Chains A and B, each alone.
Chain A
Amino acid sequence: MTITEKILAAHAGLDRVEAGTIVNARVDVAMGNDATAPLAIAAFREAGARKVFDRRRLVLVCDHFTPNKDIQAATNCKIMRDFAREQQIPRFYEGGEAGICHVLLPEAGLVVSGDLVVGADSHTCTYGALGAFATGVGSTDLAAVMMTGELWFRVPETVKVVLRGRPGPWVSGKDVILALIGAIGVEGANYRALEFTGEAVAHLTMADRFTVANMVVEAGAKNGVFPPDETTREYVYARGDRDPVFYESDPDASYADVLEMDVSALEPQVAFPHLPSNVRPVGRVGSIKIDQVYIGSCTNGRIEDLRTAARLLRGRKAAPGVRLIVAPATPEVYRTALAEGLLEVFLDAGAVISPPTCGPCLGGHMGILAAGEKALATTNRNFVGRMGHPKSEVYLANPAVAAATAVLGRIAHPDELKGVHRL
């Protein structure tokens, strides 16, 4: 069996499962946010349910429209707060404790290797980086888990992605996943699991792996998974509050397909509007003037991402007419960035520093685009209207490209900053 099959089998109480089988499986952690939990709470109540299956395994995070952007957003967080109080849920995050859920949960040690996690948010697949099975569901599925602690799953076929080589300078997890989505398309892995292996994985930090797993859904995948190694073990032992289980795929596991990618040949990638699969190497972008650069999100709002951006922005300024917005993904990322002096670098570069929020990425608030404006963002989706007006455009890239783009005012390779005068 593959890792994905083993985790699903273990949680369904079965010795074996096969791709295509529908199983009922026990959920270790369930998560909802302010965009999805209120609907789940309504469904929970409508069904006449009284108590959540396990108050310690339900995590509620106010991150999408927070700090509350309007009365409706405030009402949604109040619904969650009241529910958390009533059910005595210790892991309810808001205000200064809240961060973007998919960065917050692993950081707080709430997800460990071997877990089965569902979240009412499509980027829940992020936790697969830890060697967990994690997938996004809707609010009704979340309500069902809140009631029963279980959920039905169709065991997905697994596609093995073998990453060869070693990534060059300025090439990160973001470029690996953008190149993959570009190669297989936005439905190239629909309903499937993507399992990432090969010697290049050892060169990917935990942050890189979270970024890769985060965006598997942009290829339609149900989950993405990295077999745990020393990097994973170090991460979960330092943070996890439960014992991890490290699963490995069997040598004779069955794969629907095997893809290979040489990451040493990879350049930083840019996804053009309006699909994440619309990628080009940054060297072949041409001259595209940018109005706003956004560094943040569940894809690239981690401390490693901010360090990369700060390295390039130190002593430089965002070009006139470019609005640079930096959003540390969690309070811990924010605090670390402060301690390391990164926030000062961003302020000196002319950036606006946002509180941790999903806001700008999904056009919620804190950085909306007008008609005709172009943004380069380190986020995960560039659909029509994603960051604002339906006639605005979003380009996706890694934090190094974002920093270089901010300084030059057009989409740029980080190496183009060589020779650009430091202040």
Chain B
Amino acid sequence: MIIKGRVWKFGDNINTDLIIPARYLSSTDPGFLAAHVMEDADPTFASRVAPGDIIVGGKDFGSGSSREHAPIALRAAGIACVVAKGFARIFYRNAFNMGLPIFVSPDLFDLVEEGDVIEVDAAAGRILIPSKPAAEVAVAPIPPFMRDLLAAGGLIPYLTKGVGR
């Protein structure tokens, strides 16, 4: 799986209140949530993000609440994957359970600029930045069980296909 897309950069501690503020949580409509994604971090983001774009974050991405509205909003906004220095555990789990690819890379953040195009090659465990051929960074390998979850398309398909029973 190679994911190629344009980078949006966000810093450290992008918590779930920033990804989708609680004032919108009474809705579960993906389109509505996508219209407000990242609103309190960058109010213009939702109108500028395009399908296939990639978010590059800093430390502790997705901290805070267990709301799946956060990965839903990101996915509905067309985000192809998130690469961050680190993820909070509930967000990490939610992303895999819902089939949103996320990758841990401590190094990528400082090498890319907003608008750069990057290629995440999960199988090879690396990220390429075509405009900076020398800058290739490694991504942390995904544990085998989590790979199976992603391959199945998330936890519910994994369970209903009987793989996990």
Question: 10 smallest A-B Cβ distances: which pairs?
Answer: A138-B94, A72-B26, A362-B22, A140-B97, A385-B40, A390-B40, A187-B60, A122-B66, A383-B17, A138-B68
Q: Are B156 and A36 in contact (CB under 8 A)?
A: no
**Contact string against B for A residues 44-58, beta-carbon threshold 8 Å, 1 for contact and 0 otherwise:** 001110000000000
Asked if B6 is at the interface (CB within 8 A of a chain A CB), the reply is no
- Contacting residues, chain A, for B22 (C-beta < 8 A): 35, 362-364, 386
- A261 an interface residue at 8 Å Cβ cutoff? no
Known: A122-B66, A140-B154, A140-B155. A70 touches B28 (CB 8 A): no
* Contacts A363-B21, A384-B18; A39 near B68 (Cβ below 8 A): yes
Which of B28, B65, B86 touches A39 (beta carbons < 8 Å)? B28
Q: A122-B64, A390-B40 are in contact. Are A138 and B17 (CB under 8 A)?
A: no
Contact A186 B93 (CB under 8 A): no
Interface residues of B in 87-123 (CB under 8 A from A): 88-90, 93-94, 97-98
**Contact size range, B:** 35 or more
Interface residues of B, Cβ cutoff 8 Å to A? 13, 15, 17-18, 21-23, 25-28, 39-41, 59-60, 63-69, 71-72, 86, 88-90, 93-94, 97-98, 143, 145, 154-156, 159-160, 164-165
Residues of A within 8 A of B15 (CB): 381, 383
CB of A384 within 8 A of CB of B17, answer yes
Instruction: Report which residue of B18, B72, B89, B98 has the largest number of chain A beta carbons within 10 angstroms of its beta carbon.
Output: B89
Give bound CA distance, A362 to B65, whole Å.
10
Enumerate chain B residues within 8 angstroms of A364, measured Cβ to Cβ: 22-23, 25-26
**Chain A residues within an 8 Å CB radius of B23:** 363-364
Q: Is B68 a contact partner of A140 (Cβ separation < 8 A)?
A: yes
Which residues of A line the B interface, CB within 8 A? 22, 24, 35-36, 38-39, 42-43, 46-48, 64-65, 69-70, 72-73, 76, 120-122, 124, 136-141, 143-144, 147-148, 152, 186-187, 190-191, 217, 220, 222, 275, 362-364, 381, 383-386, 390
Q: Which residue of B lies closest to A187 (CB)?
A: B60
Give the residues in chain B near A186, CB-CB below 8 Å: 13, 60, 63
- Would you give the shortest CB distance from A109 to chain B, in whole angstroms? 24
Whether A38 contacts B28 by the Cβ 8 Å rule is yes
Among A76, A143, A362, max chain B CB count under 10 A is at A362
Contact A43 B156, CB 8 Å, known A140-B68, A186-B13 = yes
Task: Give the residue of B68, B71, B93 whose beta carbon is less than 8 angstroms from that of A36.
Answer: B68
**A206 nearest CB across to chain B (Å):** 24
Interchain CB contact under 8 A, A220 and B17: no
- Bound-complex Cα distance A203 to B56 (A): 45
Contacts A36-B66, A220-B88 hold; do A72 and B159 have CB atoms under 8 A apart?
no
Q: When chains A and B are docked, how far (Å) is the Cα of A364 from the Cα of B25?
A: 8
Q: For A138, give its contact among B25, B26, B97 (CB under 8 Å).
A: B97
Query: Residue on B with the closest CB to A34?
Result: B26
CB–CB B159/A144 < 8 A: yes
Q: In the complex, what's the smallest C-beta–C-beta distance from A213 to chain B, in angstroms?
A: 16
